[in-house]
Amino acid sequence: MLALLLLHNHARFGDPFEFGHGLLSIAWRARIERWGLFSYHYLGRNLAVVLTSLPYTRVEGAPFQINYHGLALWVTTPIYAWALWPRRTSATFHATALTAGLVALPSLLYQNSGWLQFGYRFSNDFAVFLFALIALGQRRLGRWFWPLCVFSVLVNAFGALTFQRAGYERFYFFERTQKIIHQPD
């Protein structure tokens, strides 16, 4: 597969190691040239998006605004907390947790936070492992779990119905430089 990919790149770009990113005409190209596509340099910003990106409040014309970097994962899918506090663990649980971490790591080191998203879209890569951790952890899905499932559905339904849809721009904060992640002072 790697040989086919390298041949494909050579046919498209004349260089087997060019994947097309070097040819993009984008505002953050200097960042990519300086730090590369994947770097520890991007970890802080990406973790900020994944863990702390909340809706902006006290905005004119709307009850809140959501930054185009997206909402924190615990806001869009709070039931993932059950994966963090298992009732029981096993070798399978630990292997699945390690797999989830290894799958998440490249996106956390990637130069792009997932920009132009309602929620952290790169979480789709490791979501199946988080659900497996919830099942393997054997914690009772009790009184808080099901209301949080409903909350998740409602939050994501709002995103599906409004994100990048005409007439709903007031609910979203868009800033072209991608430098503003948290609500400005």
- Could you tell me where the DSSP H helices lie in 36-112? 43-52, 73-76, 81-84, 91-108
Confidence class of residue 14 from pLDDT cuts 50, 70 and 90?
very high
Whether 45 is covered by a domain: the verdict is yes
How does pLDDT run across 29-50, given as a tens digit for each residue? 888 889 988 999 999 999 999 9
Are 78 and 148 in contact by the 8 Å Cβ rule? The answer is: yes
Whether 60 is covered by a domain: the verdict is yes
Whether 185 is covered by a domain: the verdict is no
How does pLDDT run across 51-96, given as a tens digit for each residue? 999 999 988 889 999 999 999 999 999 999 999 999 999 999 999 9
Which tokens sit at 75?
A: 């806001």
Instruction: Give the DSSP H or E segment for 162.
Output: helix 145-162
Please state the length of the chain: 185
pLDDT mean across residues, the chain: 93
* 17 and 78 both lie in a single domain: no
What is the rounded radius of gyration, in angstroms, for the C-alpha atoms of the chain? 19
Distance separating alpha carbons of residues 53 and 45, to the nearest angstrom = 10
Are 19 and 9 in contact by the 8 Å Cβ rule? The answer is: yes
* 3 and 42 both lie in a single domain: no
- Per-residue pLDDT, averaged over 136-162, amounts to 96
Are 69 and 115 in contact by the 8 Å Cβ rule? The answer is: yes
Whether 157 is covered by a domain: the verdict is yes
Q: Which residues contact 58 (CB under 8 A, 6 or more apart)?
A: none
**Would you state the pLDDT for residue 18?**
87
* % of residues, the chain, pLDDT over 70: 100
Which tokens sit at 161?
A: 């119905």
Cα 163–Cα 152–Cα 136 angle in degrees, nearest 5: 130
Whether 5 is covered by a domain: the verdict is yes
Number of domains making up the chain: 2
- Count the neighbouring beta carbons within 10 Å of the beta carbon of residue 122: 23
* 30 and 44 both lie in a single domain: no
* 23 and 81 both lie in a single domain: no
* % of residues, the chain, pLDDT over 90: 77
* 124 and 162 both lie in a single domain: yes
Which tokens sit at 178?
A: 């991608």
The predicted model scores a pTM of 0.84
Q: Which residue has the tokens 């990106």?
A: 53
Whether 108 is covered by a domain: the verdict is yes
- Domain range for residue 164? 38-173
Q: Which residues contact 67 (CB under 8 A, 6 or more apart)?
A: 53, 56, 172, 173, 175, 180, 181, 182, 183
